[in-house]
Amino acid sequence: MSKRILIHIGPPKSGTSAIQYALHHNRGLLRSNGVEYPEHEIGSNGISSGNLTSILSLDVSGKWYVCENKVNELITSFEQSEANTLLLSSEYFFYLVKEIASKVPSAQFIAYIRCPLETFESSYNQSVKRHGRTTPATFSQNLHTTTLNILTEMIENVGRKRFLLRAYLPASDGEFNLVEDFLNASNLPLLTSVKKVTNSSYTFEALEFKRWLNQFELLEFDASIDQALQAYENGRSTFSLLPESLSERYQKQALHTVRDFVQIHKVFNGRRLVNYLKYRSLQEFKAQTLTDNQLSEICGYLAEQYPKLFTDIYQKLSKADLQLIANNERVALIASLQVNRRSILSRLKTVFLKKNNSL
């Protein structure tokens, strides 16, 4: 029986969480079809690092490296099993392809190509959502195409034959389904439907609220805040942080870069991606500010839908050194909202007790 090893490397911001969620929740079906997909954790928001620790370990400096012992153990177990395919997925693999390719010479790598302009903005948003960024987005005169540059270098080092390159198409392309495309590319069986939206985007207002909140380092509440803000639907859901003065320039650079990459490396569905970029409509620019009304609306939502979380946030903010806080007047606004909320709850409790006592 011929065996194969497929390694999905992302890259970051190309729907990896959705693919991993579907694979993880269909491990039984995959195994019954001869596919071994190692188990991994998935957070409450559907986010995962995938099979990161299946072949990687941390060194003394805290950097991930390809662990030869883990690789050997995993491959030995796979070779002794009845499975014909070993499938791994993690965005962390993206930066270690050369090392992985050396230690697993038979592996093929699956990667998705996305509009670099969307990748750039999405990466910034992610840095606010999950990595504590407090500073506004900054833009140089030229679009950053780091992901495609890294992919180009990988292909030169490892060889084009070892890559399955696919276009990541927008939601507006009704014929494109990322999970189904991944299964087709990998020659894997169709999976049962898993309707789970992973890593939902924030509205503009939620993003700005989180950016301001990050300066308080609320690490113990971060996962809960993220989940709450992903569910916040008020405000602007489609927007761009890219100034209008750079929009057309970046759009052209994205088109030219992707078109060149697709033509050179023969990306599946690459022509559809190029056509999308040709006619891609520009999103409305939003300057990174948050009004008191917008802040009040978000805090009101948190107080109503996540009262304990809102109280925890307020208590943490009330202990902060306001001299070190940007826009510290917002703390006073949040405090007034918390006081009003407590006053309302107290009055409701009084009415409830009086009503019960009269019965």
Mean model confidence pLDDT for the chain: 88
User: Which CATH number does the domain housing residue 69 bear?
Assistant: 3.40.50
Residue 118 confidence (pLDDT) above 90:
yes
Structure-block tokens of residue 274? 């190029």
Q: Looking at residues 224-233, what average pLDDT do you find?
A: 93
The gap from C-alpha 166 to its chain's centroid, in whole angstroms, comes to 19
Q: Is residue 40 situated within a structural domain?
A: yes
Residues 170 and 216 in one domain: no
Per-residue pLDDT, 351:
35
Residues 29 and 108 in one domain: yes
Residues 180 and 324 in one domain: no
Which residue matches tokens 């999405």?
122
Q: Is residue 191 situated within a structural domain?
A: no
Q: Is residue 30 situated within a structural domain?
A: yes
Residue % of the chain over a pLDDT of 90: 70
> Tell me: the pLDDT tens digits for 278-318?
999 888 999 999 998 898 899 889 988 998 998 898 888 88
Residue 356 confidence (pLDDT) above 60:
no
Residues 175 and 230 in one domain: no
Per-residue pLDDT, 341:
60
Q: Is residue 284 situated within a structural domain?
A: no
Residue 54 confidence (pLDDT) above 80:
yes
Residues 224 and 347 in one domain: yes
Residues 17 and 146 in one domain: yes
Residues 84 and 227 in one domain: no
Q: Assign 357 a pLDDT band (cuts: 50, 70, 90).
A: very low
> Which contacts qualify for 169-172: CB closer than 8 Å, 24 or more apart?
169/269, 169/272, 169/273, 169/276, 170/115, 170/276, 172/276
Query: How far is it, in rounded angstroms, from Cα 27 to Cα 35?
Result: 8
Q: Assign 339 a pLDDT band (cuts: 50, 70, 90).
A: low
Q: Looking at residues 192-211, what average pLDDT do you find?
A: 80
Query: How far is it, in rounded angstroms, from Cα 336 to Cα 2?
Result: 67
> Tell me: the pLDDT tens digits for 235-289?
999 999 999 999 999 999 999 999 999 999 999 999 999 999 999 988 899 999 9
Q: Is residue 280 situated within a structural domain?
A: no
Residues 212 and 170 in one domain: no
Residue 348 confidence (pLDDT) above 60:
no
Residue 197 confidence (pLDDT) above 70:
no
Which domain, by its residues, includes 322? 204-236+289-358
Per-residue pLDDT, 346:
46
Q: Is residue 250 situated within a structural domain?
A: no
CA dihedral 237, 243, 246, 251 (to 10 degrees): 0
The pTM is what? 0.86
Query: How far is it, in rounded angstroms, from Cα 129 to Cα 150?
Result: 24
Residues 11 and 149 in one domain: yes
